[in-house]
Amino acid sequence: MKKKFAKVLTRTDVGANNSHQGGALIPVGVQGILPQPAVSAHALSPSAAAAVKVQVSRNGTVIGDVDASVIAHSRGFQREDETHFTGSFLSLASAKPGDVMVVSKSPGRRRYAVNIIPKRNAMGIKAQLGGARYGTLS
């Protein structure tokens, strides 16, 4: 069964506020799809990056394949650990704040799929999230 994770993208995720983040932050305990590089619970430095292949789509139309990275980051005891999912996939798909990023991976596949759903078309996915900014989808 294909696992899916969705996140309503923020200004920081898409680089609209000139941050250096360069990708989407996803709480580690929620998404369960991306690889989880090991981090020390007390280390505030990010883990080594895990390279992944991503097929990028916008509103279900495939745009292309890109290389991306997954970096785990511990916040110590301040906040839940985060996964930093980086790469050019958000800019390639012209992602904007309020759009929804759906990440999925079928069992046995090496490539991840990222579909950017424009805000105006994302009401169904947002309803599945029950008002939360992120979560798993069935």
Give how many domains the chain has, as a whole number: 1
pLDDT of 78 reads 59
Question: Is the pLDDT reported for residue 96 higher than 90?
Answer: yes
For residue 68, what is the domain's CATH number?
Answer: 2.40.330.10
Looking at the chain, the whole-number percentage of residues with pLDDT higher than 70 is 77
3-state SS assignment for residue 76 = coil
DSSP designation for 46: B
Contact between residue 55 and residue 109 where contact means Cβ atoms under 8 Å apart = no
Question: Is the pLDDT reported for residue 98 higher than 70?
Answer: yes
**5-36 residues labelled b (16+ CB within 10 A) or e (exposed):** bbbbbbebbbbeeeeeeebbbbebebbebbeb
Instruction: Outline where 15-104 has alpha helix (H).
Output: 28-31, 89-92
Count CB atoms within 10 A of the CB of residue 136.
14
What are 17-65's pLDDT values in tens digits?
A: 876 666 888 776 666 677 766 655 555 666 667 788 899 999 999 999 9
pLDDT of 19 reads 67
What domain range includes position 39?
3-137
Question: Is the pLDDT reported for residue 137 higher than 70?
Answer: yes
pLDDT of 75 reads 60
What are 57-94's pLDDT values in tens digits?
A: 999 999 999 988 887 776 655 556 677 788 888 888 89
